[in-house]
Amino acid sequence: MIYNQVCRLMLSNEDVDTGFRQKLRQVYTEQGDLTDNIRRWVGDEFAVRLGVIAGKVRLKEKSLSWRYRLNVLESLIIENAGDSTYFLLFDELDADYASVAQADTKGSYFELISSLFKAVQDVRAKFSNIHSAKIRPIIFLRDDIYERIQDSDKNKWQDARVDLQWDASRLKDLMNYRINRAIDRGFFAGDDVMTSGIRNYQGAHVESHWDTIFASIDFTPPGRKKRVNIFQNLCANSLMRPRDFVAYLQYCASCAKPTEARISEQIVVEAEMSFSAYMRQEFVDEMYVEVPNIKQVIHAIMRQGKKSFLLAASSEDLRRLLRVDECGNVRSDSPLEMLFAFSLIGIKLPKKPRPLFRYLHPDASFDPSCEIAIHPGLHRTLRLSGIGW
């Protein structure tokens, strides 16, 4: 599949010989979705036609071995791809993970993921130094799924592994870029009020494009007296992922009126509850495979009503769901480790002003003796009380 995708990319690469691209275009006449295309790619007729282009097969051939097909594709790429770099991104591999993880096909899922890693490793090694063409397949995978892969070659993948960690500065840069691109592409073309508001405000001294779409860079959250920076508040209430920030802006946009040039403080306040509900659903969606009763756990936390608590002092209902006894002793089948891994909960360490959450500290370990802290993004939707941080 990787080599076939490279051949498709070669079709749009003007540095590749025109005559070769014309021949290739006669073979890659894709119609339908990826499943239909893959079905064609593995067919004998398709393999023979590629072999003819490569000059390695006669048209009267009926079938070719898999090894021979692979050699044909490799030779086509090596001889014709030039010195360009071809990126192939494998994303959304967890799209059906929830259904797969609860079925008998769970083992097959991880075998397929392992096979993909091995194929990528092989391709990158083959095209790293020997050939002028640079083939760069990249896999994006949730870290919790990656950790569950069991394969004898897994240690070999570590050198090429990159853990994506977002901080406030990088997130601000990304959002600035996306907002700027939206303006350049005429995203607000039909909204003269918003467009003129943003452009006029850009004439003043501003920190970033993010600041231009808000009437004020800070606001007063409901129930609090002190004003806080909107972006910093969002950093604290999210999991520091780009999609969290995009979702927040979408909620703000849904509350905005057509006549408003920028997002008002009232809209920001209204979006607080919507975003908190979004965070609650995000935790449920990502965790219910590992913690099937996650909805009941969250509901028990809401009934208890506290932002932080000691396990021994928590409600009987919550202790039952968390499999903790009245003394705070944690059973081996407790979901607490998983709740901590997904950052629904953190721990409050002595003499530390802020709780420790794993999304900010990936190497952190859970300590059941510490006070448990609920993620700030859930405080509003669960109506939790107590001292914030």
CA distance 86 to 83: 10
Residue where one domain finishes, among candidates 223, 258, 285: 285
Residue with tokens 């979408």: 250
CA distance 99 to 94: 10
Amino acid 314: pLDDT: 93
CA distance 20 to 45: 19
Q: Are residues 41 and 154 in the same domain?
A: yes
Amino acid 223: pLDDT: 80
Amino acid 253: pLDDT: 85
Asked if the structure places residue 13 within a domain, the reply is: yes
Q: Are residues 319 and 214 in the same domain?
A: no
Sign of CA dihedral 142, 320, 357, 362: negative
Nearest C-alpha neighbor of 250 from the set 277, 284, 218, 225: 277
Strand-pairing partners, residue 219, are 228
Residue where one domain finishes, among candidates 262, 285, 308: 285
Amino acid 291: pLDDT: 93
Asked if the structure places residue 385 within a domain, the reply is: no
Q: Are residues 312 and 174 in the same domain?
A: no
Q: Are residues 271 and 132 in the same domain?
A: no
CA distance 233 to 220: 10
Amino acid 255: pLDDT: 84
Asked if the structure places residue 386 within a domain, the reply is: no
Amino acid 320: pLDDT: 95
Q: Are residues 154 and 176 in the same domain?
A: no
Q: Are residues 305 and 278 in the same domain?
A: no
Asked if the structure places residue 383 within a domain, the reply is: no
Q: Are residues 54 and 131 in the same domain?
A: yes
Q: Are residues 93 and 238 in the same domain?
A: no
Q: Residue 193, class by beta-carbon neighbours within 10 Å (0-12 exposed, 13-18 middle, 19+ buried)? A: middle
pTM of the predicted model as reported, rounded to 2 decimal places: 0.77
Count how many domains the chain has. Answer: 3
pLDDT in tens, the chain (389 residues): 888 888 888 888 998 889 888 888 887 776 666 666 666 666 766 666 676 676 655 545 556 677 777 787 888 888 888 888 999 999 988 876 766 666 555 678 888 899 999 999 988 888 876 666 788 999 999 888 888 888 888 988 888 888 888 999 999 999 988 888 777 655 444 444 444 444 443 433 334 788 888 989 999 988 888 999 999 999 999 999 999 999 999 899 888 877 777 899 999 999 999 999 999 999 999 898 889 999 999 999 999 999 999 999 999 999 999 999 988 899 999 999 999 999 999 999 988 889 999 999 988 999 999 999 999 999 999 999 877 65
Asked if the structure places residue 211 within a domain, the reply is: yes
Amino acid 44: pLDDT: 67
Residues 6+ apart with CB under 8 A from 79: 54
Asked if the structure places residue 246 within a domain, the reply is: yes
Amino acid 352: pLDDT: 86
Alpha helices by DSSP H, the chain: 2-11, 18-27, 34-41, 44-54, 66-80, 97-101, 106-126, 143-147, 154-157, 168-184, 192-202, 209-212, 230-237, 242-255, 265-287, 294-304, 316-322, 336-341
Q: Are residues 87 and 16 in the same domain?
A: yes
Q: Are residues 13 and 115 in the same domain?
A: yes
Residue where one domain finishes, among candidates 160, 182, 216: 160
Asked if the structure places residue 388 within a domain, the reply is: no
Asked if the structure places residue 387 within a domain, the reply is: no
Cα–Cα distance list, 257 to 186, 194, 218 (Å)? 19, 10, 20
Task: Identify the domain containing residue 14 by its residue range.
Answer: 2-160
Q: Are residues 295 and 273 in the same domain?
A: no
CA distance 97 to 117: 17
Q: Are residues 13 and 82 in the same domain?
A: yes
